[in-house]
Structure 1
Amino acid sequence: MVYLKTSQEWLDQSMALLEARPSTTLITTTYKLRPGPSRPDADGDTAVTKPPRGALVLKAFDPISGATIKYRTSKAAEVSRLVHASLGRLGRSMAAVPDVPEVTMAEGEGATPAEESQAAAPTPQASQGGGGKKKKKGKK
């Protein structure tokens, strides 16, 4: 069992494992949300708890070869990206569906370059208010 350091490394390794044994390789996703630790307040009346912290563990396992690849993260942006990647790219190869290549959009025939459109319609500048009433000081 190997915990990899980066998510991209886990994606590459699991894709290679899926290409080698597509019918037996399993991809599992486990998400755990653990409550944050609590400590007594300065008054001692109530307990202050930190917000809960979730952890995502992705595992690619092949029972024939015994290869296990794991990756763990608690970063929210990375969690959503990995869930989509594991359900998207890796799920396609597990289901033997051909992978959809990413297509870059080309400019249309009637489209104008961005530089010309910005020069044609200048944006009005917003007035900056520097003056105004000042806050009165309170009596002491």
Structure 2
Amino acid sequence: MPYYAKSEDWLHQSSLLLQARPSTTRITTRYHLKPARRVPKLKNSDQDAAGQKAQSPETQEKPPRGHLVLKTYDPHSGVTLKYKTSKAAEVTRLIQMLGTLGRHMAAVPITEKAEDETMADAPAPTEGEGTGSGVQTPIGAQAQQQQQQAGGGGGKGKKKKGGKR
């Protein structure tokens, strides 16, 4: 069976197959990490008198490259769906989506997003209960005076003029 070109196609078809046959369909994952390749590296400083480059014994390693193969298979119908990727962001997203597909296999109902519920207002305080911390908040002009006394304020001052030299 050929591989799907897009992950969305594989995801949609796998979802449909799991909905049709949840008890027999299986999803398998395989992650393969290739070892790093060594590529000979030439240095510009390794030139002989004639100006030709000399071989350097140093090698440069390329980072290892891995790929993920996802396969959905139903033995009763013989349907096989495959998808292969090497993109790290896509691998992460697909692994997370396997949980959603697994809900079909486990026959767990998929819950829709709950709408925002309005919360009931808190009951009014009784006489014995306080409504605050006990510290009175200054209002208006009193607040400005207290802030200036404390050294804050951020009021406008003279601008410094930069002289030309």
TM-score, normalisation: structure 2: 0.60
2:110 maps to 1:99? yes
TM-score, normalisation: structure 1: 0.70
Runs of 5+ consecutive residues of structure 2 not aligned to the other structure: 43-54, 122-165
Identity of matched residues, %: 51
2:24 maps to 1:21? no
Q: Which runs of 4+ in 1 moved over 6 A?
A: 106-110
- The Cα shift of 1:68 comes to 0.3
Write 1 or 2 for the structure with the bigger share of strand: 1
Deviates more, 1:58-67 or 1:99-108: 99-108
Matches within 5 A, 1:30-41: 30-41=30-41
Aligned partner letter, 1:23: S
User: Which structure has the larger Rg?
Assistant: 2
Alignment: residue pair count: 109
The alpha-carbon distance between structure 1 residues 35 and 21, as it changes in their structure 2 partners (threshold 3 A), is same
d(CA) in 2 for partners of 1:102 and 1:6? 26
2:66 maps to 1:54? yes
What's 2:90 paired with?
78
d(CA) in 2 for partners of 1:17 and 1:40? 48
What's 1:2 paired with?
2
For 1:62-83, what per-residue CA distance to the aligned partner results, in whole angstroms no more than 9, with x for missing partners?
0111100000111111100000
d(CA) in 2 for partners of 1:104 and 1:6? 32
